[in-house]
Amino acid sequence: MKKVDRRVRKTKDALTSCLIKLMSEKEFSNITVSELTKLADVNRSTFYNYYKDIFDMIEQMENEVFHDFIKAFHKLNLEIGKYTYGSILSFYTFMFEYIQNNSDISKILISRNCAHSFMEKFKRTIMAADNPFNESIPEIQIYFFRTFIISGTVGVIHQWLNDGLKIPYKDMAIIMTEMTMKVINDYKT
Protein backbone atom coordinates (compact mmCIF):
# COMPACT_ATOMS: atom_id res chain seq x y z
CA MET A 1 0.00 0.00 0.00
CA LYS A 2 2.81 2.44 0.86
CA LYS A 3 4.35 1.83 -2.57
CA VAL A 4 1.15 3.02 -4.29
CA ASP A 5 0.90 6.05 -2.01
CA ARG A 6 4.49 6.98 -2.82
CA ARG A 7 3.86 6.72 -6.57
CA VAL A 8 0.69 8.78 -6.29
CA ARG A 9 2.55 11.41 -4.28
CA LYS A 10 5.39 11.43 -6.82
CA THR A 11 2.93 11.88 -9.70
CA LYS A 12 1.05 14.66 -7.92
CA ASP A 13 4.34 16.36 -7.04
CA ALA A 14 5.41 16.23 -10.70
CA LEU A 15 2.09 17.74 -11.77
CA THR A 16 2.36 20.45 -9.11
CA SER A 17 5.92 21.29 -10.09
CA CYS A 18 4.97 21.57 -13.75
CA LEU A 19 1.90 23.65 -12.94
CA ILE A 20 4.13 26.07 -11.04
CA LYS A 21 6.47 26.27 -14.04
CA LEU A 22 3.59 26.91 -16.43
CA MET A 23 2.07 29.54 -14.13
CA SER A 24 5.36 31.44 -14.21
CA GLU A 25 5.08 31.56 -18.01
CA LYS A 26 1.39 32.27 -18.59
CA GLU A 27 -1.95 33.02 -17.01
CA PHE A 28 -3.50 30.20 -15.00
CA SER A 29 -6.68 30.23 -17.10
CA ASN A 30 -4.64 29.56 -20.27
CA ILE A 31 -3.04 26.34 -18.99
CA THR A 32 -4.47 23.13 -20.40
CA VAL A 33 -4.44 19.62 -19.00
CA SER A 34 -2.70 18.45 -22.19
CA GLU A 35 0.26 20.78 -21.83
CA LEU A 36 0.51 20.12 -18.08
CA THR A 37 0.54 16.35 -18.48
CA LYS A 38 2.96 16.53 -21.41
CA LEU A 39 5.38 18.65 -19.40
CA ALA A 40 5.01 16.38 -16.35
CA ASP A 41 5.37 13.26 -18.52
CA VAL A 42 2.12 11.90 -17.09
CA ASN A 43 -0.79 10.38 -19.00
CA ARG A 44 -3.90 12.53 -19.23
CA SER A 45 -5.90 9.59 -17.87
CA THR A 46 -3.62 9.52 -14.82
CA PHE A 47 -4.29 13.23 -14.28
CA TYR A 48 -8.04 12.56 -14.47
CA ASN A 49 -7.72 9.77 -11.89
CA TYR A 50 -6.85 12.49 -9.37
CA TYR A 51 -8.46 15.67 -10.68
CA LYS A 52 -11.45 16.79 -12.73
CA ASP A 53 -9.51 19.66 -14.28
CA ILE A 54 -6.81 22.22 -13.48
CA PHE A 55 -9.18 24.16 -11.23
CA ASP A 56 -9.90 21.01 -9.23
CA MET A 57 -6.16 20.40 -8.88
CA ILE A 58 -5.67 23.91 -7.49
CA GLU A 59 -8.66 23.50 -5.19
CA GLN A 60 -7.32 20.22 -3.78
CA MET A 61 -3.93 21.82 -3.18
CA GLU A 62 -5.65 24.77 -1.54
CA ASN A 63 -7.74 22.51 0.69
CA GLU A 64 -4.68 20.56 1.83
CA VAL A 65 -2.78 23.72 2.77
CA PHE A 66 -5.87 25.30 4.30
CA HIS A 67 -6.50 22.19 6.41
CA ASP A 68 -2.96 22.39 7.82
CA PHE A 69 -3.34 26.10 8.62
CA ILE A 70 -6.72 25.67 10.26
CA LYS A 71 -5.53 22.75 12.35
CA ALA A 72 -2.74 24.98 13.69
CA PHE A 73 -5.14 27.90 14.21
CA HIS A 74 -7.65 25.76 16.14
CA LYS A 75 -4.86 24.32 18.26
CA LEU A 76 -3.78 27.86 19.10
CA ASN A 77 -7.37 28.85 19.86
CA LEU A 78 -8.21 25.77 21.94
CA GLU A 79 -5.01 25.67 23.97
CA ILE A 80 -4.75 29.35 24.72
CA GLY A 81 -8.32 30.56 24.35
CA LYS A 82 -7.16 34.14 23.94
CA TYR A 83 -4.65 35.84 21.73
CA THR A 84 -1.41 36.17 23.67
CA TYR A 85 2.03 37.05 22.33
CA GLY A 86 3.14 33.42 22.73
CA SER A 87 0.10 31.92 21.02
CA ILE A 88 0.25 34.34 18.11
CA LEU A 89 4.00 33.82 17.75
CA SER A 90 3.44 30.04 17.69
CA PHE A 91 0.84 30.40 14.95
CA TYR A 92 2.90 32.78 12.81
CA THR A 93 6.02 30.63 13.29
CA PHE A 94 4.09 27.58 12.09
CA MET A 95 2.61 29.54 9.19
CA PHE A 96 5.85 31.09 7.92
CA GLU A 97 7.80 27.84 8.33
CA TYR A 98 5.07 25.96 6.47
CA ILE A 99 5.08 28.53 3.67
CA GLN A 100 8.87 28.41 3.42
CA ASN A 101 8.86 24.60 3.28
CA ASN A 102 6.04 24.64 0.71
CA SER A 103 6.97 27.83 -1.12
CA ASP A 104 6.07 26.55 -4.59
CA ILE A 105 2.51 25.65 -3.61
CA SER A 106 2.23 28.79 -1.50
CA LYS A 107 3.17 30.92 -4.51
CA ILE A 108 0.31 29.37 -6.46
CA LEU A 109 -2.23 29.87 -3.68
CA ILE A 110 -1.20 33.45 -2.99
CA SER A 111 -0.97 34.33 -6.69
CA ARG A 112 -3.47 36.83 -8.00
CA ASN A 113 -5.37 34.01 -9.71
CA CYS A 114 -6.00 31.97 -6.55
CA ALA A 115 -5.56 34.28 -3.56
CA HIS A 116 -9.20 35.32 -3.32
CA SER A 117 -10.52 31.81 -2.69
CA PHE A 118 -7.82 30.91 -0.18
CA MET A 119 -8.12 34.23 1.62
CA GLU A 120 -11.90 33.92 1.87
CA LYS A 121 -11.65 30.48 3.50
CA PHE A 122 -9.03 31.75 5.92
CA LYS A 123 -11.06 34.88 6.66
CA ARG A 124 -14.24 32.89 7.42
CA THR A 125 -12.34 30.73 9.90
CA ILE A 126 -10.79 33.70 11.70
CA MET A 127 -14.14 35.49 11.78
CA ALA A 128 -15.74 32.47 13.45
CA ALA A 129 -13.05 32.28 16.16
CA ASP A 130 -13.59 33.42 19.73
CA ASN A 131 -13.58 37.15 20.33
CA PRO A 132 -10.36 38.13 22.17
CA PHE A 133 -11.64 41.63 22.94
CA ASN A 134 -13.81 42.94 25.70
CA GLU A 135 -17.52 43.16 25.02
CA SER A 136 -17.52 46.97 24.97
CA ILE A 137 -15.95 47.01 21.51
CA PRO A 138 -18.64 47.09 18.82
CA GLU A 139 -18.93 43.95 16.70
CA ILE A 140 -18.43 45.93 13.47
CA GLN A 141 -15.04 47.16 14.69
CA ILE A 142 -13.99 43.62 15.55
CA TYR A 143 -15.11 42.48 12.10
CA PHE A 144 -12.96 45.08 10.38
CA PHE A 145 -10.08 44.50 12.78
CA ARG A 146 -10.00 40.84 11.79
CA THR A 147 -10.32 41.74 8.11
CA PHE A 148 -7.40 44.14 8.52
CA ILE A 149 -5.19 41.52 10.20
CA ILE A 150 -6.03 38.83 7.63
CA SER A 151 -5.52 41.10 4.63
CA GLY A 152 -2.29 42.45 6.07
CA THR A 153 -1.00 38.97 6.80
CA VAL A 154 -1.77 37.75 3.28
CA GLY A 155 -0.13 40.88 1.86
CA VAL A 156 3.01 40.32 3.93
CA ILE A 157 3.15 36.64 2.87
CA HIS A 158 2.76 37.65 -0.77
CA GLN A 159 5.58 40.20 -0.49
CA TRP A 160 7.82 37.75 1.38
CA LEU A 161 7.33 35.16 -1.36
CA ASN A 162 7.95 37.75 -4.09
CA ASP A 163 11.14 38.86 -2.32
CA GLY A 164 12.41 35.28 -2.45
CA LEU A 165 11.98 34.41 1.26
CA LYS A 166 15.12 36.38 2.11
CA ILE A 167 14.07 37.05 5.69
CA PRO A 168 14.15 33.90 7.89
CA TYR A 169 10.71 32.55 8.76
CA LYS A 170 11.34 33.00 12.50
CA ASP A 171 12.06 36.70 11.97
CA MET A 172 8.90 37.03 9.86
CA ALA A 173 6.90 35.41 12.68
CA ILE A 174 8.29 37.90 15.20
CA ILE A 175 7.60 40.88 12.91
CA MET A 176 3.99 39.79 12.31
CA THR A 177 3.41 38.94 15.97
CA GLU A 178 4.63 42.35 17.10
CA MET A 179 2.47 44.16 14.54
CA THR A 180 -0.57 42.06 15.43
CA MET A 181 -0.06 42.56 19.17
CA LYS A 182 0.18 46.34 18.71
CA VAL A 183 -3.19 46.37 16.98
CA ILE A 184 -4.75 43.99 19.53
CA ASN A 185 -3.43 46.00 22.48
CA ASP A 186 -4.75 49.24 20.99
CA TYR A 187 -8.17 47.61 20.61
CA LYS A 188 -8.19 46.15 24.10
CA THR A 189 -7.73 49.54 25.74
In a domain, 57, yes or no: no
What value, to the nearest 5°, has the Cα angle with vertex 164 and ends 160 and 167? 60
Q: What is the pLDDT of residues 132-164, one digit of tens each?
A: 666 677 888 878 888 888 888 888 988 999 899
Rg of the chain in Å (alpha carbons): 19
Q: Do residue 41 and residue 126 come from a single domain? A: no
Mean pLDDT within 5-10: 88
Q: Do residue 31 and residue 122 come from a single domain? A: no
Question: How far is C-alpha 136 from the geometric centre of its chain's CA atoms?
Answer: 32
pLDDT in the model for residue 140: 87
Q: Do residue 146 and residue 71 come from a single domain? A: yes
pTM of the full structure: 0.76
Q: Are 179 and 152 in contact (CB under 8 A)?
A: yes
Q: Are 170 and 94 in contact (CB under 8 A)?
A: no
Q: Do residue 121 and residue 177 come from a single domain? A: yes
Q: Do residue 5 and residue 68 come from a single domain? A: no
pLDDT in the model for residue 142: 79
Q: Which residues, at least 6 apart from 100, have a Cβ–Cβ distance to it below 8 Å?
A: 165, 169
Q: Are 36 and 22 in contact (CB under 8 A)?
A: yes
- Domain CATH number, residue 18: 1.10.10
Rounded to whole angstroms, the Cα distance separating 119 from 110 reads 8
Q: Do residue 96 and residue 42 come from a single domain? A: no
Band (2; pLDDT cuts 50, 70, 90): very low
pLDDT in the model for residue 105: 80
Q: What is the pLDDT of residues 20-57, one digit of tens each?
A: 889 878 887 899 999 999 999 999 999 999 999 998 99
Q: CA separation (Å) from 27 to 51, 124, 154?
A: 20, 27, 21
pLDDT tops 70 at residue 113: no
Percent of the chain with pLDDT over 70: 83
Q: Do residue 88 and residue 24 come from a single domain? A: no
Rounded to whole angstroms, the Cα distance separating 165 from 149 reads 21
In a domain, 114, yes or no: yes
Band (187; pLDDT cuts 50, 70, 90): low
Q: What is the pLDDT of residues 64-94, one digit of tens each?
A: 888 887 777 777 664 544 678 888 898 899 8
pLDDT tops 50 at residue 1: no
Range(s) of the domain holding residue 131:
62-188
Percent of the chain with pLDDT over 90: 31
Q: Do residue 41 and residue 134 come from a single domain? A: no
Query: What is the number of domains present in the chain?
Result: 2
In a domain, 42, yes or no: yes
Q: Are 154 and 106 in contact (CB under 8 A)?
A: no
Q: Which residues, at least 6 apart from 96, have a Cβ–Cβ distance to it below 8 Å?
A: 157, 160, 169, 170, 172, 173, 176
